[in-house]
Amino acid sequence: MKSAPPNLAWLNLPNMPLPIKALFIGYLLVIGVGLCMAGLQIMLTHGMADGKVGLSVDDIVYSYYGDRSGSKLASKLNGSMIDKAPLEVRQDIIKWAQQGAPESQWEPHFKGVFAQHCIMCHSQIPGIPNFTKFEEVKKAAATNQGATISGLTRVSHIHLFGISFIFFFIGFIFSFAVNIPKKLKIIAIAFPFAFLLIDVLSWWLTKLSPNFAWFTIIGGIGYSIASSGMWVISMYQMLVLARNGKTYGNAWEQDL
Ligand code: HEC
């Protein structure tokens, strides 16, 4: 006995039964707010990394590659600590910092230099580093190496797992959209995943070389556009296109 093929004429966003529509719309609304918050958070954390408002390539370089040109020690000795020691002494300290502040020269030489010029404050005033201790001098002499490997590993796996879930559901809902050429639909669904990989990979590459910071921008803009496009079309079809009372048929079989 052959059973009749199921009637799947309702299997599309405009004609979806109301309970499943409520699920899809609820999800898209919350995810939409969430994505806006994520954008805001990126602006507030990374956007200010270089000290200027707004996200730029410099911010990305600063966050992942760091600023390897100088240390805090060097910048302070040319800045607010400029009057604390004569030029030769400051240059001597900066040169030592640039060599990575090797400990071998601490006891025989630099301990005395800091004792003479710095520790009357930097061992007395609370809240500023205590320069009688080599470790604290070493810390101030370190260059900013940007993101750490452990930090990158943590953020990468959270992003890959978390965001791919978001893209999975956005893409799944969008797969029921009607009147979209099949090729375009496939590309729109696949794009966010590809851009997500580019984005995460670019953080690691930027840690190696600042030239890769552009990939972070490309990846981020790429998946924002692809996912917001799917978001808008899905919402439009469920809320607006649904009102004209037309039956659109099985969206998964539609072949435009
Ligand atoms: C008269 C007191 C005084 C002397 C002497 C002094 N400092 Fe400072 N230092 C400060 C104060 C106060 C701050 C915090 C305010 C600031 O960052 O300008 C500071 C901050 C710093 C910082 C930044 C610390 C941080 O983690 O933010 C460095 C580095 C530094 N001093 C280096 C030196 C060196 C090197 C010397 C000796 C050549 C020196 N200072 C001598 C008072 C002093």
Asked whether the predicted pLDDT for residue 32 surpasses 60, the reply is yes
Task: Kindly state whether residues 115 and 45 are assigned to the same domain.
Answer: no
* Residues 105-123: b if buried by 16+ CB within 10 A, e if exposed: ebeeebbebbeebbeeebb
Residue nearest to atom 36 of ligand 1 (CA): 118
Full-model pTM: 0.70
- The single-letter DSSP state of residue 6 is P
Q: Give the count of alpha carbons within 13 A of 98, CB side only.
A: 11
Least confident of 30-34, 110-114, 214-218: 214-218
- The single-letter DSSP state of residue 109 is I
Task: Kindly state whether residues 47 and 140 are assigned to the same domain.
Answer: no
Q: Which residues contact 56 (CB under 8 A, 6 or more apart)?
A: 50
The pLDDT value recorded for residue 255 is 76
* Among 73, 77, 81, 94, residue to substitute to test ligand 1 (most atoms within 8 Å of Cβ): 81
- Residues touching ligand 1 (Cβ under 6 Å) are 72-73, 76-77, 80-81, 84-85, 93, 117-118, 120-122, 125, 128-129, 140
Task: Kindly state whether residues 230 and 188 are assigned to the same domain.
Answer: yes
What mean pLDDT value characterizes the chain?
A: 91
Task: Kindly state whether residues 160 and 40 are assigned to the same domain.
Answer: yes
Task: Kindly state whether residues 161 and 53 are assigned to the same domain.
Answer: yes
The pLDDT value recorded for residue 29 is 97
Asked whether the predicted pLDDT for residue 1 surpasses 60, the reply is no
> Among 119, 144, 169, where does a domain finish?
144
Closest CA to 192 of 222, 214, 215, 165: 222
Determine, yes or no, domain membership for 1: no
Determine, yes or no, domain membership for 111: yes
117 by DSSP, 3-state: which?
Answer: helix
The pLDDT value recorded for residue 52 is 72
Determine, yes or no, domain membership for 3: no
Task: Kindly state whether residues 119 and 195 are assigned to the same domain.
Answer: no
> Among 93, 128, 144, where does a domain finish?
144
Task: Kindly state whether residues 162 and 220 are assigned to the same domain.
Answer: yes
Percent of the chain with pLDDT over 90: 70
The pLDDT value recorded for residue 233 is 97
Residue nearest to atom 37 of ligand 1 (CA): 118
> Among 144, 162, 197, where does a domain finish?
144
Task: Kindly state whether residues 151 and 139 are assigned to the same domain.
Answer: no
Residue nearest to atom 42 of ligand 1 (CA): 121
127-185 pLDDT, tens digit per residue, is 999 999 999 999 999 887 888 899 999 999 999 999 999 999 999 999 999 999 999 99
Asked whether the predicted pLDDT for residue 2 surpasses 90, the reply is no
Determine, yes or no, domain membership for 249: no
CA gap 164, 232 in Å, rounded: 19
Determine, yes or no, domain membership for 90: yes
Task: Kindly state whether residues 99 and 211 are assigned to the same domain.
Answer: no
102-130 pLDDT, tens digit per residue, is 999 999 999 999 999 999 999 999 999 99
Task: Kindly state whether residues 162 and 183 are assigned to the same domain.
Answer: yes
The pLDDT value recorded for residue 25 is 97
Task: Kindly state whether residues 76 and 195 are assigned to the same domain.
Answer: no
Tally the domains of the chain.
2
Show the domain range for 231: 18-64+147-244
Task: Kindly state whether residues 183 and 229 are assigned to the same domain.
Answer: yes
